[in-house]
Amino acid sequence: MLTEVLSAIHALPTPLASLLAAQLKANQAAGTPACLHASQWQALLTATGLDETALSLALLPVAAAFAHTPISHFKVGVIAQAASGTRYFGANFEFPDQPLGASIHAEQSAINHAWLTGETRLLSLTVNASPCGHCRQFINETPEGQGVQILLPQGRYSLAQLLPQAFGPTDLGISQVLMSASSRPLAPIAGDPLLQQAHQAAGASYAPYSGCLAGVALESACGEILCGRSAENAAYNPSLPAMQSALALAHLQGWDLSQIRRAALVETNAATSQRPHAQLALASLCQAKLDYLRLP
């Protein structure tokens, strides 16, 4: 587990810190160190006597400790509550020597975390700073959209209150939404297993606007593999590319990103391509070569 996360846990009141540390250690062994399952959440409520709101706000420093901010040094933490009851941590991530637009916002990180884990509905986000317009637009792409609840230290708001007269998928004639869109089967490919996993991730990506389905697979120094996929947005700029999706998840899972051994990007032929930016983002963190396949 990240040193910063352990420090944030130990700074909490003893009953909460002890139980949380044990829970996250168990989850780390299972490969999911940055979330709390519904039963674990209930155990925290029972052990501490806190209500849902108080516990969510109390854990924000732990979520923020996952941040990687070499440029701004401003850490934002998010706890996303999925319909399953699991809470997913998210935090902002910045890329050294890259444009600010390459950054991953904390709200994107948390939603991406839940989505990649298989969640299909998002109920609320607890944030330690009011979401920027970029993030409000990204949240609006999820199934609940305007109904998502945003819990801040100063109060609770619906997304409709924070983003009135919103522009979303339906304004562009799109009926599917992020997290609930169906996977698209792509023609199978043979050969490199890493490319095959990126290919599978591409089929599950969300690209209703460009049509560029894209998936990334990363391989760690010890041979572990995880995948990310693109998540487009009706307003275009808040879209999350597949490489950022994968790197955000890898960081939350405690990977040493400088030791990534291999990376693969598979995308479908479209008017856009994620290859140039994927190469730059990867090169800012490690020496791994990007294997690439563009499907017809």
Q: Mind telling me the catalytic residues?
A: 107
As a whole number of angstroms, the distance between CA 220 and CA 226 comes to: 9
As a whole number of angstroms, the distance between CA 283 and CA 246 comes to: 14
User: Which pair of structure tokens corresponds to residue 136?
Assistant: 């409000």
As a whole number of angstroms, the distance between CA 266 and CA 293 comes to: 5
Report residue 216: phi and psi, to 5°: -125, 140
- Per-residue DSSP letters for 158-198? EHHHHSTT---GGGGT----TTTPPP-------S-HHHHHH
Per-residue burial over 55-71, b = 16 or more CB atoms within 10 Å of its CB, e = otherwise: bbbbbbbbbbbbbbeee
- CA-wise closest residue to 249 among 26, 66, 78, 100: 66
What stretches of the chain show up as alpha helix (H) in DSSP? 3-10, 14-29, 38-48, 52-58, 60-64, 106-116, 133-139, 159-162, 193-203, 242-252, 275-283
Query: What torsion, rounded to 10 degrees, do the Cα atoms 45, 51, 55, 57 define?
Result: 170
Q: Quick one: how far is CA 288 from the chain centroid?
A: 22
Question: Strand 262-268's sheet: what is its strand order?
Answer: 225-229, 214-219, 262-268, 290-295
- Label the pairing between strands 262-268 and 225-229: unpaired
As a whole number of angstroms, the distance between CA 148 and CA 98 comes to: 32
Q: Classify 155 as helix, strand or coil.
A: strand
